[in-house]
Amino acid sequence: MPERGSTPLELFWKLAEKNDGVRVDAAIKLVSHLQRLKVKESEAEDFEKSLKYCLNRLVTGLASDRAHSRRGFFISLVEFLRVFGDKISVQDVFEVMEETLNDKGTKGVSKPNLEIEVKSKNSHCFTGGS
């Protein structure tokens, strides 16, 4: 069970913090939480659902308009892929990018800047969001 203040949802919020240490700590705790789910055979279905949910949230987080948020989501995504690369493929990442970072709209982006934003956000998946 994650410690108080570090549920997956709370950890996603912490990945967007300005403080580098808070972001790194949240990334570590998020991956650790998933690793604990992975070892419990009774929670195999929860683990698979959690992996997909986390991948979606991490890729979507790269679309933030705040640089420190993109950095937090990027470091977490890199660690997530390093640890769970046997369960998540590059193709899975591309599919999530296609579904979430498209020209139909992303949260908080005005229509005139949308095409530029989508291209920029897709590039954040490969550059670390800097």
Tens digits of per-residue pLDDT, 68-110? 898 999 999 999 999 999 999 889 998 998 888 765 545 544 4
pLDDT score at 110: 42
pLDDT-derived band at 114 (thresholds 50, 70, 90) equals very low
- Find the helix packing angle between 90-100 and 114-127, rounded to 10°: 160
Q: Any idea what DSSP says for residue 111?
A: G
What's the chain's average pLDDT? 79
